[in-house]
Amino acid sequence: MTTNRLQLVREEMTHSNLDFLLVTDPSNRQWISGFTGSSGIVLISKQAAYIATDSRYWIQAQQQCPDFELVKTAGASTAVTTKLVEKISDASHFGYEPENLTMKQYQDWTNIISSMDWKDIPNFIPTPSIINKLRMSKDNHEITSLMKAVEIADAGMKHAFQIIKPGMTEKALAWEIQKYVIENGADSLSFNTIVAGGEWGALPHARPRNVALKNESGVVIDMGVKVNGYCSDLTRTFFLGTPTDKFKEVYDVVLTAQMMSIERIEAGMTGSEAHEIAASVISEMGYGNYFGHGLGHGVGIDVHEAPRLSPTSDTILENGHVFTIEPGVYLPDWGGVRIEDQCLMEAGKVRSLTKSPKLDLEIGVTDD
């Protein structure tokens, strides 16, 4: 698998006229090498591939990265830089990931490169998109892991529906969800579970409080898990008791926007065009001022990655992309409604991988 990915990266390097590519983003490092440790740097040339890490990970790197030569380091940034630079022959174009290189690391690299005996000192070139672009299209191995993560998240949401009751605190429910998914196949969480009752649901990234959930109020649950290094992301909103007319109205707005997006988004659209499908529905139904975030985001090794479905995204959506569709309406002093599915673009259309119900169950939970 890494051999194929190395080939793809080298093709991109050729297109970008790069002799070497330095990979410091942890998720990009994992994607290209298979290494899951917390510390390491990858260097790729047209003929070789290196992973530099300290003694904590030498055995792990040899096991996980058979296509990479291990460069053993003592862990210090300067030591890593020096040992990797020693692997470089003449190179005129040296790419790096600007988002994941600190100023100190950048200075180390440029100082050491400049101090060495080169025929021509190589140019240190920011190349932010090479691996990020390749990661957007998931292969069959990745899709299998993503689908398993979605399946466990669905089970966790079902468990939440079965145990929730008025008087349970947001923190207690979040803990029960997290404990359930870990005990039932998840390797870890994609992010800390969100449980937001009543008006707290107006915060898209609310943190669970030690506050009891109340009867006759809405509840937003946003959760996800990791399986084999790949994430899921799932949100459902429902009502404890008999839904009020206002809740049903707002829920219908969000559900309509979400279902129309799933139906109408096609390969070849930009992320901004996809976002506009939901945004226009919500605006036409009178709640345009209360939908402030993007329609969705890519999901893979990271729970938030490319492609983005947002007003400013010019990324073209393609087959193999996995992303969320999660419109929401958030009303201060009232609460919020968000419905989120994780979807796969295949054969030019969107297929929801998420199976959690979003009709009767979400708005009909009682306090029995």
Summarised one tens digit per residue, pLDDT across range 41-66 is 999 998 899 999 999 999 999 999 99
Whether 363 is in a domain gets the answer no
Domain assignment of residue 181, given as a range:
140-352
Q: Which residues contact 9 (CB under 8 A, 6 or more apart)?
A: 21, 32, 44, 130, 131, 134
Whether 61 is in a domain gets the answer yes
Are 10 and 106 contained in the same domain?
yes
Are 144 and 17 contained in the same domain?
no
What is the Cα Rg of the chain in Å? 23
pLDDT of residue 89: 63
> At 195, which CATH number?
3.90.230.10
pLDDT of residue 297: 98
pLDDT reading at 80 higher than 80: no
Whether 364 is in a domain gets the answer no
pLDDT of residue 366: 45
For residue 134, give both structure tokens.
């390749």
pTM of the model: 0.93
pLDDT of residue 123: 80
Buried b (16+ CB within 10 A) or exposed e, 93-105: bbbbbeebbeeeb
Are 94 and 153 contained in the same domain?
no
Are 346 and 312 contained in the same domain?
yes
Domain limit, last residue, from 135, 158, 190: 135
Whether 6 is in a domain gets the answer yes
pLDDT of residue 320: 98
| H-helix segments, the chain | 2-15, 26-33, 58-64, 77-85, 103-115, 130-135, 140-163, 170-183, 245-264, 271-284
| Range 99-119 average pLDDT | 79
pLDDT of residue 113: 76
DSSP of 129-171, one letter per residue? THHHHHHTB--HHHHHHHHHHHHHHHHHHHHHHHH--TT-BHH
Domain limit, last residue, from 135, 164, 181: 135
pLDDT of residue 91: 64
pLDDT of residue 261: 98
Whether 358 is in a domain gets the answer no
Whether 366 is in a domain gets the answer no
Q: What are phi and psi of 50, to 5 degrees?
A: -125, 145
Whether 360 is in a domain gets the answer no
- Per-residue confidence at 77, pLDDT binned at 50, 70, 90? low
Lookup result for tokens 């992320």: 271
Domain limit, last residue, from 101, 118, 135: 135
pLDDT of residue 104: 84
Average pLDDT across the chain, whole number:
92
Smallest Cα–Cα separation from 345: which of 292, 279, 298? 298
Are 128 and 204 contained in the same domain?
no
- Per-residue confidence at 115, pLDDT binned at 50, 70, 90? confident
Is residue 278 exposed (0-12), middle (13-18) or buried (19+ Cβ within 10 Å)? buried
For residue 296, give both structure tokens.
């969705």
pLDDT of residue 190: 98
pLDDT of residue 78: 59
pLDDT reading at 252 higher than 80: yes
pLDDT digits (tens, 9 = 90+) for 90-99: 667 889 899 8
Are 220 and 194 contacting, i.e. CB atoms less than 8 angstroms apart? Answer: yes
> At 13, which CATH number?
3.40.350.10
Are 10 and 122 contained in the same domain?
yes
Are 88 and 219 contained in the same domain?
no
pLDDT of residue 118: 66
| Range 304-327 average pLDDT | 98
Whether 361 is in a domain gets the answer no
**Which of 19-28, 84-93, 170-179 is least confident?**
84-93
pLDDT reading at 232 higher than 50: yes
Are 112 and 193 contained in the same domain?
no
Are 84 and 210 contained in the same domain?
no
Are 242 and 278 contained in the same domain?
yes
**Which of 46-50, 235-239, 282-286, 296-300 is least confident?**
46-50
- Per-residue confidence at 367, pLDDT binned at 50, 70, 90? very low
pLDDT reading at 258 higher than 50: yes
pLDDT of residue 99: 87
Are 109 and 232 contained in the same domain?
no
Q: Using CA atoms, how far apart are residues 144 and 150, in angstroms rounded to an integer?
A: 10
Are 301 and 163 contained in the same domain?
yes
pLDDT digits (tens, 9 = 90+) for 7-17: 999 999 999 99
User: How many structural domains are present in the chain?
Assistant: 2
pLDDT digits (tens, 9 = 90+) for 81-91: 677 777 776 66
pLDDT of residue 213: 96
